[in-house]
Amino acid sequence: MSYLNRFFQEVFDNNPLPSTGSSFDQATDAEMAAHLQMDQYDSFQLTDAIRPAMDLKIKPSQGYRHDTYVDQETKAKVPVIMAAASREQLFPLFIRLIQRLGPVVDVVLESSHTQGEGGHVDLYREHIDMPVLTSILWDYEDLLLNDGCTGIAVLNPNTPQEIQFEEHKLLIIYGSPLEPFEFTLESHGVGENEGIKFITEAEHIHSSSDEFAEQFSQLKTALGLDGEHGTPKQTRGGDNGEEYGETF
């Protein structure tokens, strides 16, 4: 099934857009279809997971910027890199970044497939060998790239450092030092741009499907998250309160 057909059948039918306040309100069916089929802006190619607003207040582009995460409990400040990369290099870049975390890491698998039935779910797995993890992730590249309800975080709690490949297909890197990750980004053509705006900072739409929900369950099993390892845990940044199928 094409991205567009999957979007209309499984998002619009079950989750109608808000009646007011959306740039999609005045769009005709033909305009909406054309917009959802648009997956490239200049040289930046989107995955199937997400589309920007009709008004394109933020045009998708490649680059990274620095930010700071403040822990709500301890008030500790953690340096952050937020990055967007074009589809053709996004997943290999993610793999290269997580390989910098060390030979053994922890994993958090994130889902909002059942947002209306219980919200955002994070499942935590400790101590997985990096070669095993990367092999599994390559097997599920399509899901991780193109499902707007699946995210994953890989972390080394001893450093501590964490890399999120979240539902909007942004790369978020927490911890210090950040220079090795900056080098990896730059070597893949993702340059520093402190003024860059990301698709999450304006109205946008997520896409998913029943097929992706099933693949998520398979990935959960492959990562050993169906049994004792499947402990809920919050990653840095947490849930941003978005709902599957809605505009934001």
Give the separation between CA 31 and CA 52, rounded to whole angstroms.
Answer: 14
Q: Report pTM.
A: 0.81
Nearest C-alpha neighbor of 159 from the set 94, 84, 73, 78 = 78
Full domain range(s) for residue 113: 1-248
Give the separation between CA 187 and CA 9, rounded to whole angstroms.
Answer: 40
Q: List pLDDT tens digits, range 9-37.
A: 343 344 444 444 677 777 778 888 888 88
Per-residue tokens: 36 = 């959802």
- Residue 12 is predicted with a pLDDT of 35
Number of domains in the chain: 1
Per-residue tokens: 148 = 């707007």
Give the separation between CA 85 and CA 25, rounded to whole angstroms.
Answer: 29
Start-to-end CA distance of the chain, whole Å, equals 25
- Residue 112 is predicted with a pLDDT of 82
Q: List pLDDT tens digits, range 191-211.
A: 999 999 998 888 888 888 899
The pair phi, psi for residue 179, each rounded to 5°, is -55, -40
Q: List pLDDT tens digits, range 150-171.
A: 999 999 999 999 999 999 999 9
42 or 229, which is more confident: 42
Edge-to-edge, what's the strand order for the sheet holding 121-129?
63-70, 77-84, 171-175, 161-165, 150-156, 104-111, 121-129, 231-232
Q: List pLDDT tens digits, range 103-135.
A: 999 999 998 877 555 567 889 999 999 999 999
- Residue 115 is predicted with a pLDDT of 59
Q: List pLDDT tens digits, range 80-105.
A: 999 999 999 999 999 999 999 999 99
Helix/strand/coil percent split, the chain, to 5: 30, 25, 45
- Residue 119 is predicted with a pLDDT of 62
